[in-house]
Structure 1
Amino acid sequence: MIIIGEKINGAIPSVARAIKENDADFIQSLAKIQVDAGAHFIDVCASTDVNIEVKTLKWLIDLVQEVTDTPICIDSPRAQAIAEAIPFCKRPGLINSVSGEGDKIEVIFPTIADTKWECVALLCDDSGISKTAEQRLAVFAHIMKRAKEFDIAPSRLHIDPLVEMICTSEDGINMIVDVVKEIKAQYPELHVTGGLSNVSFNLPARRLVNQAFTVLMMNAGMDSGILDPTNQDLLGMIYSTEALLGRDEYCMEYIGAYRASLFGQKNR
């Protein structure tokens, strides 16, 4: 599983306070604990006013890069802000995100076309988030067509099928599972990602729902996730599921993660 560490996000009150107070030590501590927990990308999201967003992204990116070489995931709802922040990164990372909305593809795909940058792509467009698998797959087809135009290989894309709150769904995550299986059947080399905690909003004992959801989605083909890598219970579920699905030869990754105290130590 490709782990995208979610903890440096200005929408989180403690991070918003650190941004306001220029608390560099706090931001860098969040970066280090996520890297130590095995994150493959460090998501950086300012969640500030538009007029200071790029400046804030630069400050955050610079701080993270002072303490780790782990690639940055530039996270913003504004494609132009992402494009302006790319030069701040010392090495290619991950864009979060494009979709079928507005001019996002037109801004981002030409910018990363001849690079090694990877990109999250959301299955929504100007009509919003569709309720059927057919409609989401139509958005997917459009995104893949545009990616091909810019010679962006499927292996550089992380498709987010957009999981919504399970408590408002009539059929659980069955529709999302169908979408994931179909896109992986079409393009086995692309990645499937998403915010793993979105599914449990407004439910008690959210961690249990998140863990069950992770297992189901990994079985469907998810191999990338935006999550808290310091959550040992969730990380243990991910490593054990990969072993059970035959994606971890002789369980070496599972054993290595356990020995590195990434999960499970409290239950020894």
Structure 2
Amino acid sequence: MSVTGGMNPMIFLLSTSCNMHSAKIFCWSCLAVFLAWSVRAHAADIQIRETTQATSQGAVAVKAFFAADQGRHAAVVILHGSQGLEKFRTFYERNAASLARAGFNAYLLSYYNGQDAACAKTVEQRRANFAKRIMAWSLMVSDVVTSILADGRNTRAVGLVGYSQGGFLGADVASRDDRVSALVVFYGGISPTRSPDKRSPAHMPPLLELHGDADATVPMERGKELVDMTRSLGQSAEMVVYPGAGHGFGGATAADAEQRTLAFFQAQLTGHDLLPLP
């Protein structure tokens, strides 16, 4: 387990200059504008395609961010948190664009249907819906992985990165689908809905778990459980703990976590054999 800290100087200046309530609102507005601009800037040299894909569990909206060159690349599937994709779409799209700029084909899934979105208004609703729907979502993600592997733009390497609920979902998919080559989990862990006899699957890929030690939503122990389980299966697993960070990262913590994610996928997903041309 590694512990990291520190603060970006620009973030520090923003935080110290926004003491008044109105100034804080202005700062967050500026940040939102910057993130939206950042996505557009990143999109200038990558290809973006939106599709609706049929799966065994119903249609799923997929927004793909392809690396700029025409070569074949490892793929990364991004799984959103329990509040759905739309609320933090700019954040997820920025991360997808960063992956594409780093040489990956990134696939952003909106795995919620209309009913799921309607059941995401409160924490209690989201937890109940997760318990009810996790198996269907896992099968849906695996169907998307099948399509990714059939696409001649991709190599044999597929990684998953999940945020909060998406991290629990990613861990569930990775434990059932041995085609997943690497897993990054942001403040997630082992699904609480799995029965005790199924808590130790036969397979887990290399894992990077990123967690704050002040997370009151998903305690750090939940992430450690996932790391311990992965190691018990003989697989490599690293846990990075951010002192003082809660549920959801910002500033220098978010930047560090993003860089670690890119480095992890570069190490785990590059060098795989190319899929045979169709």
Coarse TM-score class (shorter-chain normalised): 0.3 to 0.5
Provide the TM-score with structure 1 as the length reference.
0.37
Indicate the structure with greater strand content. Answer: 2
Higher RCO (CA 8 Å, separation ≥ 6 residues) = 2
Indicate the structure with greater helix content. Answer: 1
Provide the TM-score with structure 2 as the length reference.
0.36
